[in-house]
C-alpha cells in the first residue's frame, strides 16, 4: 500500500522505535525517499505493466558490444581497470566523450570534463559545492524529481519557473529573477532539462535557449543543463545545447551534464559533467570526497565501447524502438480515452508523455486503484517544487513492449475514465 | 613542484582568474584537494619508487577469477547487470557479504547492509546524514586523511583522541568526552580504523575495543568503525570487530564499513556499510541522492566473484606477498638507517609502516628532496586533525616489489640520514 498524500519513506524490514536521541543533521529534516523509486518497487509485481520508470528497455542493450568492450579490458587493460584511478576520470574516456559532445555540436576540452557516477552524482556535486542552506534555486515547473530531492537535501529554497508546451518560458524566468532582486536576493542556479525533458517531454526551442542564456549572463545565474535524452530524437531537427550557444563569457555560467545511462547502460553508472574553470576544481574536490572516483572498471568498459564505434548504430536501433513505443502509446490513448479527457504532449524524442486530466482530478488519489488494476504511472504532483498541478501525470513508454503499452493504456482508461 | 607547507590544490590546465562573483557554499571554504592524491601524481614519474599509496599490488589481482565472474555476468545476468538497481544494493551480493562478515566473527543481517561506491562514500553518507556545521567529531591521532577531508566538508569540529602503539587510548577518549560535557556539548561520532590502521598500522586490542564500546554507550557516541584491512593479517590472532562485541543496545551505537578495494579490486568501487535500524533508512536516502546506486555491473561482478569461492585462496596469496614486502621494508630500514634515527611500528597486517624521526625533524620539508631522489612517502602531518607531529611519516609497502623496496629505502636514507 502506497502513501497517497506524500512521498513514502523506506522503513527497513525490522525497524525499531528510533532512539530518544536521533542526532540527524538538519539537512535530513526535509529529506524523503524518492517517491518515484518507491512506486517503481511495485513494478516488480507479476503482471504489472509499468509506465512509471524512465528506464531503458533491457532487451535493447547492446550486450554483444559491451561484451566485446569487456573482453578487451581483460585482454589489455585489466590492471588499469581493477586499480584506483584519478578523481576526474580516465583521460581516454574523456577524449571519447569530448568527441561525442562535438558530434552533438558542443565543443569541449576534455580537461573541463569530470566523470561522475551517474548524472545523479553530477547534480549532487553541483549542489554540494554551491549551495548553502536557504540559497535560491530555480526549477522548471514541472522539473526532474531527483534534482528536487537532491537540492532539498542541501536545504535550497526553490522558486518555480513556468513552462508551456515549448518548455521554460523566458519571461517567467526574468519575472522570478526580478522578484528575487526586489527582495535583495540572488538566485544561485537554474536547473533544467532542455531537450525531451523529464517529466514533460518538451524541448526548448533555439530562440528560447538563446534568451535563457542572455538572461543568465545578465543576472549572473548559473545554468545547470542536464541532457540525458538528446540523442533519443525520433523526429524534428536537432536543437543545440544551451552551452554550445555560449560565447567565452557566457560559458562561465554554463554547466552541462550528460550520461551513458539512457543511451548505453544505466548499470554502468558512467556520466559526465562539463564545468567552467572557476568551478571545475571545486567539483573535483567534492568528487574525491564523495567516492574517490567512478568505477575504473565501468569507465574502461565505457571507453572501449565508445572506441568500438557501435554507438551510432545502437542509437538508431533504440530511437526506432522508442519511436514505435511512443506512437503506440499515443494511438492507444487516443483510442481508449474519450476526446478531451486526457491532454498529452507529442514529444519529438525521449521516453516520456506528460498528461493532464480535467482540472479538479487528483492523479495521486488514483495511484492505488491503478496499481490494483495492474498498471502504474507517476502522478505529476511530486515533479513540482511549488503549487503542484494535481491533475497531471507522467507516462513512460520506454520499457514496456507495444503489446504491454496497449494493454496498459486499456487498464489506465478503466481507472481514469468514468 | 609540490607545495610544502600546506596541501596543494588542483588547478585545471587552463585556469582563468575566478569571477568576481564566486558563489561557493560555505562548506567549501576549508575544502582542499587530498594531499595524498596530489603526492600520488608524482608516483607516475618514470623510475619513481612509491611508498606513498595505500594501493593494492596490481600484479596480485585475481584477474582470472574476476574474468570468470564477468563471463558469468554476460552468460546469465547481462540485462540485470546493465540496468538500474535498488539504492541499497543487490540482495545476493549483500547475502554473500553477510556471509563474509560472519567469517570475520560479526553476525549481520543483509537488510542492515548498504552497498556503497567505495568506503569513501560510506564516510560521506554518514557525515551527510549526521553532521551539522560545528558538530563535534572525534578522530584518532593520527587518523585516515580522507575521513578528515570528507568530514571537513561538512564543517565538523574535530577533537583528537590520543593513540599509542596499541591504537586509540580509551582514557583519552573519556577525557575528550568529559571535556565536551564540561562545555555543555556532545560529540556526535568517533571515526576509527581499529585494525591495521591507516596510517599507523596499529591494531586496537580486544580489551580496548570493549572499553571503547562501553564509553560510547555511556556517552551516546556513535562509533564509525572503518575496516578495510582486517583480512590482511599476516601474524598474530584475529581481533573481533567492535561491532561484533556489541549487545543489542550497544549495537545501536555501531556503524561498520568495509570494502573489496584492498582485498579484491579498488577499481570496482564496491564497499558496504552496516548501520543500526534508526540510521539505515536515512543513509539509503542519502545514497539515492548521491548516485542512485552503486554500479550494478560492478556489483554483479563482485557477487559472482564471491560465489566462485576464490577469495580465501586469493587472500592467502596477497597476505603472503604483503608480509614479505613488509618484512623486506623493515629489514631494509634497519640496515639503512642508523639505530635510533627512525622509529617504526611492526604491524601484524595491512599495508603501512608508521615512523617517527627525531623530534624537531620536519618530514614535510623533506618531501621535495625525496621526490628529487626518486622515492616518495607521505609526511605524517596531514593525518592529524590537530597538533600534527611534524617528525612522523607513513610508508606503504603494498605496491613496490621487494627489489624496489630495498632501493627505495636506500634512497630514503640518503635524504633522511645526515
Omega prior to B141 cis, within 30 of 0 = no
At B85, phi and psi to the nearest 5? Answer: -145, 180
Question: Cβ distance A43 to A387 under 8 Å?
Answer: no
pLDDT tens, B258-302?
A: 999 999 999 999 999 999 999 999 999 999 999 999 999 999 999
Geometric angle at alpha carbon B183, from B178 and B187, rounded to 5°: 60
* Residue A53 pLDDT: 87
Alpha carbon of A342: minimum distance to chain B alpha carbons (Å): 30
Distance from CA of A58 to the nearest CA of B (A): 6
Decide if A34 contacts A145 (C-beta within 8 A). yes
Residue of B nearest to A120 (CA): B291
What span, in angstroms and rounded, lies between the C-alpha atoms of A74 and A64?
15
Instruction: Identify the band that residue B22 occupies on the pLDDT scale cut at 50, 70 and 90.
Output: low
From chain B, the residues in CB contact with A292 under 8 A are: 118, 120, 146, 269
Q: Which pLDDT value is given to residue B418?
A: 74
Minimum-distance CB partner of B132 among A14, A26, A153: A26
In degrees and rounded to multiples of 5, residue A130 shows phi and psi of: -110, -30
pLDDT range class, residue B31, cuts 50, 70, 90: confident
What is the C-alpha to C-alpha distance for residues A22 and A45, in angstroms, rounded to an integer?
35
Beta-bridge partners for B256: B225, B274
Tell me the three state secondary structure of residue B17.
Answer: coil
B54 band by pLDDT with thresholds 50, 70 and 90: confident
Report residue B33's pLDDT band, with 50, 70 and 90 as the boundaries: low
C-alpha to C-alpha distances, B305 to A27, A362, B69, B318, nearest whole angstrom = 38, 48, 5, 16
Contacts of A171 (CB under 8 A, 6+ apart): none
Please state the rounded mean pLDDT for residues B107-122. Answer: 97
Alpha-carbon distance B308 to nearest alpha carbon in chain A (angstroms): 18
Q: Is there a contact between B160 and B384 (Cβ–Cβ < 8 Å)?
A: yes
Contact (CB<8Å) B109/A284: no
Reported as a single tens digit per residue, the pLDDT across B293-331 is 999 999 999 999 999 999 999 999 999 999 999 999 999
- Cα of B111 to nearest chain A Cα, Å: 7
Between chains, do A79 and B59 touch, taking CB under 8 Å as contact? yes
Q: Do B124 and A9 touch (CB under 8 A)?
A: no
pLDDT of amino acid B163 = 97
Per-residue confidence in pLDDT tens, chain A, 418 aa: 333 333 333 333 333 433 444 589 999 887 766 666 677 777 778 899 999 988 999 999 999 999 999 999 999 999 999 999 999 999 999 999 999 999 999 999 999 999 999 999 999 999 999 999 999 999 999 999 999 999 999 999 999 999 999 999 999 999 999 999 999 999 999 999 999 999 999 999 999 999 999 999 999 999 999 999 999 999 999 999 999 999 999 999 999 999 999 999 999 999 999 999 999 999 999 999 999 999 999 999 999 999 999 999 999 999 999 999 999 999 999 999 999 999 999 999 999 999 999 999 999 999 999 999 999 999 999 999 999 999 999 999 999 999 999 999 999 999 999 7
Pick the residue of B43, B281, B297 with the most A CBs within 10 A to test the interface with A by mutation. Answer: B297
User: What is the DSSP code (8-state) at residue A293?
Assistant: S
Cβ within 8 Å, pair A28-B53: no
pLDDT, position B339:
94
Instruction: Establish, for the pair of chains A and B, how many residue pairs have beta carbons separated by less than 8 Å.
Output: 277
pTM: 0.94
Is B113 within 8 Å of B272 (Cβ atoms)?
yes
CB contact under 8 A, B129 and A291: no
- Segment holding B303, helix H or strand E: helix B296-308
B281 → closest Cβ in A9, A53, A265: A9
Give the span between the Cα atoms of A35 and B268, in whole angstroms: 29
Phi, psi of A167 (to 5 degrees): 90, -160
Give the angle B167-B203-B121 at the CA atoms, nearest 5°.
90
Tell whether the model's pLDDT for residue B19 goes beyond 90: no
Measured in angstroms, the CA of A271 and the nearest CA of chain B are apart by 11
| DSSP summary character for residue A411 | H
DSSP-derived secondary structure letter, A16: P
Contact A130 B24 (CB under 8 A): yes
Look up residue B27 and give its DSSP letter: G
Report the alpha-carbon distance of residue A242 to residue A240 in Å, rounded. Answer: 6
Cell of A112: 573541463
Q: How far apart are the first and last CA of chain B?
A: 23
- Collapse the DSSP code of B157 into the 3-class scheme (helix H, G, I; strand E, B; otherwise coil) and give the result: strand
pLDDT at A33: 65
Residues contacting residue A50 through CB under 8 Å, at least 6 positions apart: A40, A43, A375, A376, A396, A399, A400, A408
Residue that wins the pLDDT comparison between A196 and B41:
A196
Q: Residue B141 pairs with which residues in a beta bridge?
A: B162
CA A386 to chain centre: 19
Q: Do B21 and A146 touch (CB under 8 A)?
A: no
Q: What is the largest CA-CA distance in chain B?
A: 62
C-alpha A96/C-alpha A112 separation (Å) is 13
B126-175 tens-digit pLDDT:
999 999 999 999 999 999 999 999 999 999 999 999 999 999 999 999 99
Confidence tier at B41 by pLDDT (50, 70, 90) = confident
Question: Is the Cβ–Cβ distance between A209 and A230 less than 8 Å?
Answer: no
- Facing B277 at nearest CB: one of A14, A87, A117: A14
Length of chain A: 418
Is B153 within 8 Å of A286 (Cβ atoms)? yes
What is the total residue count of chain B?
418
For a pLDDT cut of 70, what percent of chain B falls above it? 93
Alpha-carbon distance of A416 to A164, in angstroms, equals: 24
Strand ranges inside B229-364, DSSP E: 254-259, 271-274, 343-344, 352-356
Q: Which of A150, A288, A118 is nearest to B150 (CA)?
A: A288
Query: Considering chain B, what is the average pLDDT of its residues?
Result: 92
d(CA B342, CA B129): 41
Statement: residue B14 has pLDDT above 90: no
Alpha-carbon gap, residue B339 to B417, rounded angstroms:
11
Conformation bin of residue A235: beta by default, left when phi > 0, alpha when psi is -120 to 50: beta
Contact B10 A120 (CB under 8 A): no
Q: Inter-chain contact B278–A18, Cβ cutoff 8 Å?
A: yes
Residue A373: predicted pLDDT:
96
What pLDDT, on a 0 to 100 scale, did the predictor assign at position B43? 75
What kind and span of H or E run contains A222? strand A222-226
Q: What is the pLDDT of residue B350?
A: 98
Question: Cα distance from A414 to chain B (closest Cα, Å)?
Answer: 30
Please report residues of B whose CB lies closer than 8 A to that of A290. Answer: 120-121, 124, 290-291
With the C-alpha atoms ordered A378, A383, A388, A394, is the resulting torsion angle positive or negative? negative
CB neighbour list of residue B75: distance below 8 Å, 6 or more residues apart: none
Amino acid at each position: 500500500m502506497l502513501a497517497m498524500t506524500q512521498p513514502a519513506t523506506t522503513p527497513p524490514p525490522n525497524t525499531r522505535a528510533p532512539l530518544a536521541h536521533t542526532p540527524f543533521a538538519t539537512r535530513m529534516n526535509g529529506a524523503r525517499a524518492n517517491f518515484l523509486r518507491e512506486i517503481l518497487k511495485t513494478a516488480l509485481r507479476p503482471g504489472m505493466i509499468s509506465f512509471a520508470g524512465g528506464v531503458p528497455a533491457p532487451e535493447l542493450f547492446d550486450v554483444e558490444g559491451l561484451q566485446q568492450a569487456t573482453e578487451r579490458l581483460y585482454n589489455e587493460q585489466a590492471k588499469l581497470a581493477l586499480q584506483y584511478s584519478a578523481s576526474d576520470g580516465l583521460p581516454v574516456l574523456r577524449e571519447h566523450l569530448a568527441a561525442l559532445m562535438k558530434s552533438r555540436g558542443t565543443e569541449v576540452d576534455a580537461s573541463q570534463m569530470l566523470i561522475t557516477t551517474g548524472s545523479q552524482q553530477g547534480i549532487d556535486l553541483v549542489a554540494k559545492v554551491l549551495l548553502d542552506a536557504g540559497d535560491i534555486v530555480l526549477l522548471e515547473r514541472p522539473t526532474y524529481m531527483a534534482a528536487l530531492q537532491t537540492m532539498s537535501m542541501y536545504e535550497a529554497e526553490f522558486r518555480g519557473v513556468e513552462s508551456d508546451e515549448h518548455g521554460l518560458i523566458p519571461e517567467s524566468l526574468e519575472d522570478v529573477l526580478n522578484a528575487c532582486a526586489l527582495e535583495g536576493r540572488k538566485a544561485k542556479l537554474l536547473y533544467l532539462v532542455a531537450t525531451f525533458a523529464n517529466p514533460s517531454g518538451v524541448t526548448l526551442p533555439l530562440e528560447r535557449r538563446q534568451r535563457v542564456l542572455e538572461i543568465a549572463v545578465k543576472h549572473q545565474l548559473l545554468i545547470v543543463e542536464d541532457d540525458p535524452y538528446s540523442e533519443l530524437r525520433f523526429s524534428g531537427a536537432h536543437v543545440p545545447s544551451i552551452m554550445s550557444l555560449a560565447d567565452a563569457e557566457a560559458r562561465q555560467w554554463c554547466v552541462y551534464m550528460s550520461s551513458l545511462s539512457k543511451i548505453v547502460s544505466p548499470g554502468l553508472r558512467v556520466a559526465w559533467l562539463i564545468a567552467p574553470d572557476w568551478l571545475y576544481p571545486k567539483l573535483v574536490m567534492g568528487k574525491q570526497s564523495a567516492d574517490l572516483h567512478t568505477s575504473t572498471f565501468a569507465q574502461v568498459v565505457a571507453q572501449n565501447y565508445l572506441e568500438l564505434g557501435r554507438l551510432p548504430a545502437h542509437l538508431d536501433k533504440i530511437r526506432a524502438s522508442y519511436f514505435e513505443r511512443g506512437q503506440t502509446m499515443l494511438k492507444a490513448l487516443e483510442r481508449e480515452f474519450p476526446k478531451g479527457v486526457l491532454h498529452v504532449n507529442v514529444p519529438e524524442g525521449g521516453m516520456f508523455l506528460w498528461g493532464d486530466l480535467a482540472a479538479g482530478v487528483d492523479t495521486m488519489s488514483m495511484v492505488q486503484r491503478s496499481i490494483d488494476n495492474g498498471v502504474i504511472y507517476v502522478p505529476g504532483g511530486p515533479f513540482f517544487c511549488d503549487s503542484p498541478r494535481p491533475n497531471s501525470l507522467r507516462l513512460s513508454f520506454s520499457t514496456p513492449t507495444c503489446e504491454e503499452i496497449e494493454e496498459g493504456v486499456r487498464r489506465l482508461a478503466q481507472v481514469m475514465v468514468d
